[in-house]
Every structure is written in C-alpha cells, then in structure tokens.
Amino acid sequence: MLSSARLLKLALPLIPTHGFTRAALAESVLALPASSQHTAPLSDTAVSALFGEGDDARRTLINAWLAEGISQMGKTPSSTSPLEQASPRPSVRDILHQRLRYNEQALQYLPEAFACLATPTSITSMMLTPLDPVPAVKHAVGIADEACCVSGDQSLQLSWYTRRAALAGIYTAAELHQLASPKTAHAFLDSLLASSSKLHASVEEIGLFGGYVMKSWQGIIRSSGIF
C-alpha cells in the first residue's frame, strides 16, 4: 500500500523541475525503490485520493516543502546532524541565511505557491477576504521560532514574543527581497539584522506584525501577476 507521507518526501526533489504541482506528486511514485517501483506516474484520481482534490494536493506538497525547510534549519548541508550539537551554537544570522538558501531551489515557484496557500478554500471565506493571512503569519513565525530555538534564545515573557515577531518581520522582508533580487538577498538580510540591534526595532508593536507579514505576501503575489 502506498504511503502518502513517503511519496510526499519523494516528491520534494522534483519541485525544482516540476514546481508545486500535481504532476510532481504523480511522478513521485517513479522514485520508489526497485522492489516497489511503478512504471507509470500516479493517475489523477490516485493523486486526489492520496493528497487531496484540485489545489488541495498542491497545498499538501507546499506545506510539506515548508516543513522540510524548518527541519533543515540548524543542520549542516552535508549532514543530518543539527548544528546546535557543535560548539558554539549557530547564530540567528547563520540560521536565517541557511533558510534563504533553502528557497533557492524553488524560488521561481514561490509566488504561485504563496498565492495558493493564501487563497481561501471556501467561497464564503473568499467573499469575506480574498487572501487568508494565517499561512503567511504561520510561515514567518515558524521560521523565527525555529531560529530562536536552534540558536539557544533564552528570552522570557514579552521579550520572547517581540524577538520572534521582529525576526519574522526581518525574514519576511528578506524573503520578499530575494524574490525580486536573489543575488542581493543575503546582503539585504545582513543590513536588516545590523540595523535592528535589539532585534525588535523593526516592529514597533507586536500587533502590527501580522499585518506587515500579510502585506509582504500580498506584494509577492501581486508582483507575480497571479492576482
């Protein structure tokens, strides 16, 4: 019996050539070991049964790719061992640069992927708001939180939230810049980190953070011409 989780993992290396598509999911079955390998891609019906109907299957693949990006933060490129096991711990700067590098393999597909995640799945929700802010905030906060955890951040109470909100805002701005100018993205990230000495100077209030991240995603999506 085919495992959707196993096929999802096999589909990830296909993203650079196939994008976040149902075709990538269909062809994942061709990468199975010889003992269980298929000679033809999955049918569209099988893709729907395993991963969801229509764009839901694409969302499943996008979320799997994002989750893999989180799991790779703090790991060396040639090893599965966390960098945090070495001494000293990696810095937030190093971790965020590593996450930007993870984007490079799928950079051309990210605007469409973000648009897919941000598009409400029900007609009622779409009438209320054309773009759902939750995926954008979840993406940014997940990266910021993992960066803090791997780097050994010891912030408490309000500082815990402000640090993560600021890092999420900084990373989002760098990611948006990366889509427009990949070659200067890392220098731009460094400039943001350098200008925010306490790592919360880039957001005046936590309440502004969600709106900032969503506006950044809207900019990414609109600049791609998708909406």
Q: Give 14-64 pLDDT, tens digit per residue.
A: 999 999 999 999 999 999 987 777 889 999 999 999 999 999 999 999 999
Q: 140-166 b/e with 16+ CB inside 10 Å = b?
A: bbbbbbbbbebbebeeeeeeeebbbbb
Stretch among 134-138, 143-147, 223-227 having the lowest mean pLDDT:
223-227
Cα separation of 221 and 110, whole Å?
9
Higher-pLDDT residue of 164 and 67 is 67
Cα separation of 74 and 91, whole Å?
9
Segments forming the whole domain that contains residue 199: 73-223
pLDDT of 193 > 50? The answer is: yes
Residue-wise pLDDT for 100-136, tens only, equals: 999 999 999 999 999 999 888 765 555 556 678 889 8
pLDDT score, position 206: 47
211 and 100 part of one domain:
yes
Cα separation of 47 and 41, whole Å?
10
What dihedral angle (degrees, nearest 10) is formed by the CA atoms of 202, 204, 206, 210? -60
User: In this prediction, what percent of the chain has a pLDDT beyond 90?
Assistant: 53
Q: Is residue 189 part of a domain?
A: yes
87 and 190 part of one domain:
yes
Q: Is residue 145 part of a domain?
A: yes
80 and 46 part of one domain:
no
Contacts of 201 (CB under 8 A, 6+ apart): 166, 195
Domain count across the chain: 2
pLDDT score, position 61: 98
pLDDT score, position 121: 77
pLDDT of 212 > 80? The answer is: no
Reported as a pLDDT band with limits 50, 70 and 90, residue 84 is: very low
Q: Is residue 200 part of a domain?
A: yes
Report whether the peptide linkage leading into residue 130 is cis, meaning its omega lies within 30 degrees of zero. no
Stretch among 16-20, 62-66, 79-83, 174-178 having the lowest mean pLDDT:
79-83
Q: Is residue 65 part of a domain?
A: no
pLDDT score, position 134: 86
81 and 49 part of one domain:
no
Tokens of 7: 């096929």
The per-residue pLDDT of the chain, averaged, comes to: 84
pLDDT score, position 4: 94
Q: Is residue 67 part of a domain?
A: no
112 and 209 part of one domain:
yes
211 and 101 part of one domain:
yes
79 and 151 part of one domain:
yes
Reported as a pLDDT band with limits 50, 70 and 90, residue 65 is: very high
